[in-house]
Chains A and B, each alone.
Chain A
């Protein structure tokens, strides 16, 4: 048991008052979740504190929120870890090293209905429906099952793993600039059909998503959604797959340039740079004043998304690896840097993308890296952040 202070961004629509912050003291085991903390406050102090939740196990997708500014699930974030992050952030700007408050806000890029409850219908579900989210099969179904490559099912199971929580939407930079952007979750959903060999309308779907000025080319490749996603869907990877498939099918980007120019302007404004390497660093290791604080998941997700970067390099859109992750590579613990290179090389040689569901398939190489990385990075990435 430990004491925590959670500072919640509240909005009570019927009060006529603007949004405000309120602090709650809670007492719980550090291994319990931020959602458990919120529910304790709700149970003990104020039943009017609104938060969607149901499963408490990162499976129903109800509890998307921003914790210390980062989009994720309340039930998947341990309160002890949230405290560490709050402390680190405070220390980095010269504040106290411990006992800082954990801030909790509703998801971004969505109107707020009440407290942590956002309007997902207008921002998320309408976009999901935009991508014709159902299978459009060839004629009548076969007598038995469709016979398909086992790997193809595994491949789209990564996007099937999406629980529609909206965390990616909340964190998406392009969405901030262009609210009409179809967005990470809906495009990941689109890949679920484009990648499905049972779907007959692959070309039509790809053309549609490529020609829409708010479609697949509207993504600025900022990695925020990859970092935010609690289920390893890596929406940006799915978008890159859509782009690649569009390219392979000879589908052009008719709006080239136009739509993401604006986004880039915004990023430059926000980040002061258009160096993708720094963008990458920013999104995986939200540094405060240039300090690097990679989280356990960030390192893992980054390794997961390297192959996308590989593909980026191949098409000349990105820089090579050492430049790509300048802030991270010399700080990775132990021999992890070599491992990263090994994965990188492997992917390049095999011309393949990794998929979280088939990780560990080939002699367990990738899984092994994860393991070696984790213990070192786990205690809040201490080592990594010293440099």
Chain B
């Protein structure tokens, strides 16, 4: 049985940062990832990472923008920590080797991003996430004595001891199919978001909500699950993202009549209003017939100087060329709002602790909540690093004062039985896993998206519950041990359906419009009744709803205009 003081599940930015922070405390660390760490989804982050590092900027301003961006649902204690620690963290990353963009004086340079009152986004061309993640991976290689890497190992169930504390994880070696119970004093979930529940999405195929569902299944609370971000600029059909950096560099949004429609919706911030605001504006234009026939509006990047495009938006030039056949330096590109980010997740405190002792969560899988109803661009990478660091440290501290608990072997047996059950299903005995995923994705994208209402969400919830039944008999083709992606796909489908159910239940429950949750049947924000988080806990009948307070430190809710 492999054992580590601290076991990190997931090796994106949050997981790698947590592993390094834990190792610094002198404990033994293991880090597990179902794909090779550098394949993690954090590498998709193009735009950058926020910090009030510039002497003219203040952490209060960053914090306030985040609070306002969250539509006052973010917890202000957590937001304060994130904004205060951001500058030091960026410098730390720079010292480790991240090749951040420099200004003419050779100092760190910034770009503008949506919803921010100052240009405080630090970046590496448009490969910021990739650049930071590869540098963190360099550090993992450097500290390979302290940190054991389990690359291409798939975790599927958490082990809880008789005291209700988390003490390990069942994990499958993808290469040979062997399953092991990993023992740990602290387990940190850093498994990323659940975007694959929607189709199309900007998220990678691996973003299937594994950690959210694993935590939920052992009784941890989930929070803000209704808050799903639709990014304003994605390619229709394929879901590829055009970074907000493009608008940060000055690109315009135009409807089919060539009107810069943001003038109507956000006269001050225009294209750089918060994402929920811009996505709704676009969807309104499209719904009211001012979009293009393919259900899109246009993003005009040609107004950005070519030199600047080639320097700062090169990845987008490639995305346009390779995936849309459009030269963005010469013509506008058609875009629409597309599923992008899971604001909700496993409920944690500011040290990453969940409701279950010994179980931590950080990054997109977690809900601290710094993003509340709507995440600001370039705040997510920051969230992964800051709370990855906090979780790593606290998990290590816990490990140092805790004795080994003995996980019961039952969880491994149960897991084996589950795998055998999937393997034993006859071809044709039910639906194909891929069919169920497709139906789920399309349902969620049409009913639990930018605009929602009771009838639509109810329908989606019913569909999800039917799909959950169908998933029980869904069959797979691959019955081997080596690299059985088919089997993992079936297990992931289970996670996706749990997360989807929770998102529907929470969206139905919140009878107001706030941030990413826009209910056409309740179009106003209602602070009196709904300035609170929706928490969900698993029962056999489905998620049980409770509420928790939003922490307010210094910014009282106000009307939100851009």
Contacts and interface: CB of A to CB of B under 8 A. Distances in A.
Given A50-B483, A134-B97, 15 more contacts: A47-B489, A53-B205, A55-B44, A56-B204, A113-B483, A145-B107, A150-B104, A153-B101, A157-B125, A162-B134, A163-B130, A164-B134, A358-B311, A360-B307, A364-B306
Contacts of B105: 147
Given A134-B97, A148-B102, A153-B100, A48 B432 contact: no
A62 B34 CA distance: 12
Interface string B78-110: 000000000000010011110111111111110
B130 A59 contact: yes
Contacts of A129: 141
8 contacts: A59-B315, A133-B141, A145-B94, A147-B106, A156-B99, A157-B99, A160-B131, A364-B306
Nearest to A46: B477
Nearest to B487: A47
Interface in A57-92: 57-62, 76, 78
Contact of A359 (B107, B310, B318): B310
A57 B95 contact: no
Interface of A: 12-14, 31, 42-44, 46-48, 50-62, 76, 78, 113-114, 117, 120-121, 128-129, 133-135, 137, 141, 144-150, 153-154, 156-157, 160-164, 196, 198, 356-361, 364, 367, 371, 374
Interface of B: 35-36, 38-41, 43-44, 91, 94-97, 99-109, 124-125, 127, 130-131, 134-135, 138-139, 141-142, 151, 175, 204-206, 238, 240-241, 306-307, 309-311, 314-315, 318-319, 322-325, 327, 329-330, 432-434, 476-478, 480-486, 489
A288 B369 CA distance: 59
B302 to A, nearest CB: 13
Nearest to A231: B318
A142 to B, nearest CB: 8
A60 B43 contact: yes
A145 B108 contact: yes
B91 A145 contact: yes
B325 A31 contact: yes
B325 A60 contact: no
Contacts of A56: 204-205, 238
Nearest to A143: B91
Contact of A14 (B36, B102, B482): B482
A300 to B, nearest CB: 10
A59 B486 CA distance: 23
B434 A44 contact: yes
A47 B478 contact: yes
A120 B99 contact: no
Contacts of B476: 47
A128 B139 CA distance: 13
Contacts of B131: 157, 160
Contacts of A53: 205
A386 to B, nearest CB: 24
Contacts of B478: 47-48
Contacts of A358: 310-311
Contacts of B102: 148-150, 153
A54 B205 contact: yes
Contacts of B91: 141, 144-145
A163 B315 CA distance: 13
Given A55-B44, A113-B482, A129-B141, A196 B97 contact: yes
A146 B57 CA distance: 20
Nearest to B437: A43
Given A48-B477, A135-B138, A364-B307, A57 B323 contact: yes
A238 to B, nearest CB: 14
B207 to A, nearest CB: 9
A120 B36 contact: yes
Given A31-B325, A146-B95, A148-B102, A55 B138 contact: no
Given A113-B175, A157-B99, A163-B38, A149 B311 contact: no
Nearest to B108: A145
A60 B97 CA distance: 20
A356 B314 contact: yes
Contacts of A150: 101-104, 106, 109
